[in-house]
Structure 1
Amino acid sequence: MADKSPKSSTPFATRIDPTKEGLSQEQMNFIRQVELQQWKKKTQMLRTRNVVTGLAIGALVMGIYGYTFYSVSQERIMDEMDEEAKRARMQGPKTGAN
C-alpha cells in the first residue's frame, strides 16, 4: 500500500525574511517578480468580484426604484377610482339610510 502521508524528504516552500537572509540581488528580483505576478492575479479576481457585486447592487437599486414608481402609479389609479365612487354615491338616489 502506498503511504499517503507526505514524505519528510519532499522539499516545501518556506517563508523567509529577505532582510534577515543573505539573498543576492538576482534572488531579490525573482522574489519581486513572483510577488508582482501573484498581486496582479489577485487584483484581477477582486476586480471581477467587485464588478459582479456592483452590477448586483445596481440591479437591486433599479428594481426597487422601478417598483416604487409602479406602486405610486397604482396609488394614483386607486385615488381616481375612489373619487369616481364618491361622485357616483353623490349622484345616486337619495335614501333615508345613508
Structure 2
Amino acid sequence: MGDSTFKPKINSAGKQDPILKKAELDYMKIIEEKNRERVQKLQQIGRRNRFTGLAIGAGVFSIYLYSIFAIKQETFLDDFNEPAKIQQ
C-alpha cells in the first residue's frame, strides 16, 4: 500500500488555525502545571490507599490465622468423659 490510498486532510472551514495570544498561552501553561500537581497528589493518595489496604488486610488475615490456631490448641473437649449411664 502506498501513500496514494490516503486522502489529504481537508480543512472544511477554509480558515487557518487560530493564533493564540500570549495571555492565553500563559493561562494554558498555568492550567497544565496545576493539572500536573493534581495528578501527582492523586498518585500519592493512591499509594497511601494501597498501603493502608494491605495493612488492614494483613491484620485481618493474622487475626484469622490466630483464631484458627487457638481453636486447634484447645483440648477441653478431648478430655470430656460421658457420664455413666444409670441402669434401671
Shorter-chain TM band? 0.5 to 0.7
Query: Deviations along 1:7-65, whole A, 9 cap, x unmatched?
Result: xxxxxxxxxxxxxxxxxx97x61111001100111111111111001110111011111
Once the two structures are superposed, the pairs formed by residues 1-98 of structure 1 within 5 Å of their partners are: 29-82=21-74, 84-87=75-78, 89-90=79-80
- Work out the number of aligned pairs and report it: 65
- Identity percentage of aligned residues: 6
Determine the C-alpha separation between the residues in 2 that align with 1:35 and 1:86: 77
Offset at 1:81?
1.2
The one of the two structures with greater contact order (alpha-carbon pairs below 8 A, sep at least 6) is: 1
Runs of 4+ off more than 2 Å: none
| Greater helix proportion | 1
TM-score (norm 2): 0.64
Q: CA RMSD in A?
A: 2.2
TM-score (norm 1): 0.58
